[in-house]
Structure 1
Amino acid sequence: MPDTETAARSWLDLELEDDFDEELEQEIDDGRIPAALRHLKDAHRRSAIGRGVYFRELLRLQAELVKLQDWVAHKGLKLVILFEGRDSAGKGGIIKRITQRVNPRACRVVALPAPTGRERTQWYFQRYVQHLPAAGEIVLFDRSWYNRAGVERVMGFATESQVEDFFRDVPEFERMLVRSGIVLVKYWLSITDQEQQYRFLMRIHDPLKQWKLSPMDLQSRVRWEQYTKAKEDMFARTNIPEAPWYIVEGNDKKRARLNCIAHLLSLVPYEEVPHEPVALPDRVFDPDYERRTLPPELYVPERY
């Protein structure tokens, strides 16, 4: 094999290894067990998918997501994906894997904070509408207008009258979105009581994850059964043919990510978009140009 070809292959291997390391960093973070919880390690169920299979399938599915995004842009489609579920169900992990390798200019995540005083006086759906996609865009909602059917209802932030208004309006609102050409996909991430308890304990004892735990999360543990009833009511009243709910079993994070991405790809028929071959142009060299020496204090210290 010529030396140049060997060098090129070695360079490509290093690039692929760097991509792999990016996901491996997140995987190691998922698997860290704080000292205070190590006695629970054996009780916590391991993933049914081996690390090698998981990485291979994830990278394969992410390559298909790039093709899907190309198709959405090519056809001028508008794709909205809602992610709902109990606190710590794994919404953020799935969203991170979906968006990890696609173009962020045309695929964005919306995670709205609590409404302001002004927003509370607006039409309930108004603050969500402004984030809907234009042609060629994908928008992922990390929680959505279904806050009213869940946390707002259970925590008493919405009156029963407001909740009833929501249930009356949301089916027509979503039908209106679909009629306008939006492809609307709704996912519910489902975990067990025991799994949520384990994940909350991880957040409590892990300094790198404590920011994920809010007073509202702690209340969700107290009100587990109320959230269950609210979820069941939400499914019964908002599972419409134009925008059905899809439940993702989330106790096994790896399986949940792969299953959700594979299902999403199955919902939107797409084809590979032909692209013009790209050729890297030659660099222009100016024999009279001399690179200036910059002061050393401008450089970040090389500690590693």
Structure 2
Amino acid sequence: MGLKSKEYRKLLEPMTEELVAMARWARMTGKRIVVIFEGRDTAGKGGAIRAVRDKLNPRQCRIVALGKPTDDERGQWYFQRYVDHLPTTGEIVLFDRSWYNRAGVERVMGYCTEEEAETFLKAAPTFEKMLTDDGILLFKYWLTTDQDKQEERLRERLEDPLKRWKLSPVDLAARGKYDAYTMAREEMLRATHTENAPWKLVDFNDQKRGRLTLIRDLLDRLPDTYCEPPPIDFPELGREPAQETYAVLEPIEDFPED
């Protein structure tokens, strides 16, 4: 049985406070954090990323969701366009798909050669060790989804005009390649699950439970992130508060209940 929205929000609230504290800790200590979200189409990567970032300063916590490479980027070292988006001091970067596109969609859909895919699998651990040796805190999550649940969510996208934009030709073409994606994922895990940059697989058949599980794991894997918030001097205004003098829209009354 899926987790109800009210219960989910109640469980998420204290974790959100911890995420805010984590962001303050990163800013005050200069730590750099990278979180990779990978998984099948419809797994729930976007919702998980929003749950992490929702209350964080968007200037500090960035989402990176790159489209297909340009002609210039295709001629570069494969990792080069991702390097440009890595965090600077005190930043958090959330990758909505990452360099692991080469091990998944590119390989399965034939957008790269087998030789390119094999070269990537050999190079990725070295690349990631360079990042962690330089002090970047790197967390890699794969969101798992059964095929029946994936089909249900694809159908929902098809029938919901607010979600139709999420349904791409690649999504439809990939429907018949579930087993091929599984095989590619297993080979990717064998090659790139390392001590300094391990993978964590999270069950996202229930997306709300999946988000809570992922966030709890992320917070638990960080060191003690408590930093006393800096004091803020907030003096009395010293006069009666002013009111807006411009014409404004009439407020909407009676919003529907959730």
Shared fold per TM-score greater than 0.5:
yes
1:267 corresponding residue in structure 2: 221
State the secondary structure of the residue aligned to 1:118. helix
State the secondary structure of the residue aligned to 1:93. helix
* Deviation per residue, 1:2-60 (Å, 9 max, x gap): xxxxxxxxxxxxxxxxxxxxxxxxxxxxxxxxxxxxxxxxxxxx41x344332111011
Distance 1:280 1:187, change over 3 A: same
- Residues of 2 paired with 1:215 and 1:51: CA distance? 31
Per the TM alignment, residue 270 of structure 1 is displaced from its structure 2 partner at its CA by 2.2
- Residues of 2 paired with 1:303 and 1:174: CA distance? 51
Unaligned runs of at least 5 residues, structure 1: 1-45
TM-score of the superposed pair, with normalisation by structure 2: 0.92
* Counterpart residue type for residue 30 of structure 2: G
* Counterpart residue type for residue 19 of structure 2: L
Per the TM alignment, residue 244 of structure 1 is displaced from its structure 2 partner at its CA by 0.6
* Deviation per residue, 1:246-277 (Å, 9 max, x gap): 00000011110100000000010123211333
The one of 182, 207, 232 equivalent to 1:228 is 182
* Counterpart residue type for residue 120 of structure 1: R
Per the TM alignment, residue 71 of structure 1 is displaced from its structure 2 partner at its CA by 1.1
- Residues of 2 paired with 1:117 and 1:302: CA distance? 50
* Counterpart residue type for residue 250 of structure 2: E
1:86 corresponding residue in structure 2: 40
Runs of 4+ in 1 over 4 A off after TM superposition: 290-294
The one of 132, 141, 152 equivalent to 2:106 is 152
* Counterpart residue type for residue 247 of structure 1: L
2:80 corresponding residue in structure 1: 126
- Residues of 1 paired with 2:244 and 2:118: CA distance? 69
- Residues of 1 paired with 2:245 and 2:60: CA distance? 39
1:142 corresponding residue in structure 2: 96
Per the TM alignment, residue 96 of structure 1 is displaced from its structure 2 partner at its CA by 0.4
- Residues of 1 paired with 2:42 and 2:29: CA distance? 35
1:38 corresponding residue in structure 2: none
- Figure out how many residues of one structure are paired with residues of the other and give that number: 251
Per the TM alignment, residue 282 of structure 1 is displaced from its structure 2 partner at its CA by 2.9
* Counterpart residue type for residue 302 of structure 1: E
- Residues of 2 paired with 1:104 and 1:113: CA distance? 20
RMSD of the TM alignment (CA)?
1.8
Q: Is 1:193 the equivalent of 2:141?
A: no
* Counterpart residue type for residue 244 of structure 1: P
* Deviation per residue, 1:75-103 (Å, 9 max, x gap): 11111000000000001111001000111
Per the TM alignment, residue 73 of structure 1 is displaced from its structure 2 partner at its CA by 1.3
Per the TM alignment, residue 281 of structure 1 is displaced from its structure 2 partner at its CA by 2.4
